[in-house]
């Protein structure tokens, strides 16, 4: 390699002498002898493309001393880098290396991975059920009123009866949690919504009062409300332990239901039945 460089230098010096050694090289000649601009786009697209001037140290050394520019600075002189070489005419040439291609591929793969993660995140966000604070409040109050003395599983089942009706074609006249709870198209659907004539409040009204004020008469009452809220939130987020059942009632009156429906499930004091 060293011998080749010496040969190139010898050829170059000979050519210079034949053209006139005493003539100072112009700026254009300097560019011709070895200066090449390499446009490198930074990874940050918001930044402007940076132009790096690469001037071969070997090419500079070929120039006569008087041919160098006055403001030439040795500290800023750039050596040849991978992919650059000097041809027989003394010009700096560039051949893209495999390294650059590999980096490009890696960058493209990274972008694909980021895009894939973004799409999955957006899809997950879209699939996640949405509900309002009022939905949670009303459903919690209903669960507390209907199944305050039941297990968490029993509370979750009651919550899902309400949500199943929101989605069911059999109850196409109701589309929200509130409409389902206060539905009276055929009859009162939830007895806890019936107001007491003396107090003017229903059992659900009392439960909502506790829910809003967070003032309870006992620790057991508070824990029951917290469990009811947990069940309501789980159901609103898609947790379902009874499938498509649309009705429930106290299991004491389950005999007629068992005769009429072969598909039912008993959880605690309640029997859940009817899927359409």
User: Residue 130's pLDDT is what?
Assistant: 86
Burial 91-122 (b: 16+ CB within 10 A, else e): bbeeeeeeeeeeeeeeeeeeeeeeeeeeeeee
Element (H, E) at 5: helix 2-19
Render each residue's pLDDT in the chain as its tens digit; 276 residues.
Answer: 545 555 556 565 555 455 544 444 444 444 444 444 444 444 444 444 444 444 444 444 444 433 444 444 444 344 455 555 566 666 666 565 555 554 554 555 566 667 766 776 665 555 567 899 999 999 999 999 999 999 999 999 999 999 999 999 999 999 999 999 999 999 999 999 999 999 999 999 999 999 999 999 999 999 999 999 999 999 999 999 999 999 999 999 899 999 999 999 999 999 999 998
User: Residue 25's pLDDT is what?
Assistant: 42
For residue 275, the 8-state DSSP code is -
The pTM (predicted TM-score) of the whole model is 0.56
Element (H, E) at 228: helix 219-236
Give the residue extent of every domain in the chain: 2-14+25-97, 133-273
Distance between CA atoms of 55 and 177, rounded to whole angstroms? 75
Distance between CA atoms of 84 and 177, rounded to whole angstroms? 72
């Amino acid at each position: 390699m060293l011998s080749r460089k010496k040969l190139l230098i010898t050829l170059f010096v000979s050519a210079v002498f034949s053209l006139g050694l005493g003539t100072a090289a112009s700026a254009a000649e300097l560019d011709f002898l070895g200066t090449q601009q390499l446009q490198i786009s930074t990874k940050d697209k918001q930044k402007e493309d940076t132009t790096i001037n690469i001037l071969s140290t070997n090419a500079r050394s070929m120039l006569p001393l008087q041919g160098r520019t006055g403001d030439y600075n040795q500290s800023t002189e750039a050596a040849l880098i991978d992919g650059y070489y000097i041809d027989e005419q003394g010009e700096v040439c560039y051949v893209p290396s495999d390294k650059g291609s590999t980096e490009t591929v890696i960058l493209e793969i990274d972008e694909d991975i980021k895009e894939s993660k973004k799409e999955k995140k957006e899809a997950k966000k879209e699939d996640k059920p949405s509900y309002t604070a009022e939905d949670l409040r009303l459903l919690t109050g209903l669960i507390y009123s209907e199944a305050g003395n039941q297990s968490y599983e029993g509370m979750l089942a009651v919550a899902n009866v309400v949500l199943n009706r929101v989605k069911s074609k059999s109850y196409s006249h109701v589309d929200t949690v509130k409409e389902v709870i206060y539905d009276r198209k055929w009859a009162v659907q939830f007895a806890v919504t019936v107001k007491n004539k003396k107090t003017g409040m229903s059992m659900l009204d009392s439960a909502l009062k506790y829910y809003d004020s967070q003032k309870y008469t006992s620790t057991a009452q508070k824990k029951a409300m917290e469990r009811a809220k947990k069940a309501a939130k789980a159901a609103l987020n898609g947790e379902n332990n009874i499938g498509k059942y649309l009705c429930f009632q106290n299991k004491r009156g389950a005999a007629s239901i068992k005769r009429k429906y072969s598909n039912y499930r008993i959880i605690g004091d309640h029997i859940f039945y009817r899927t359409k």
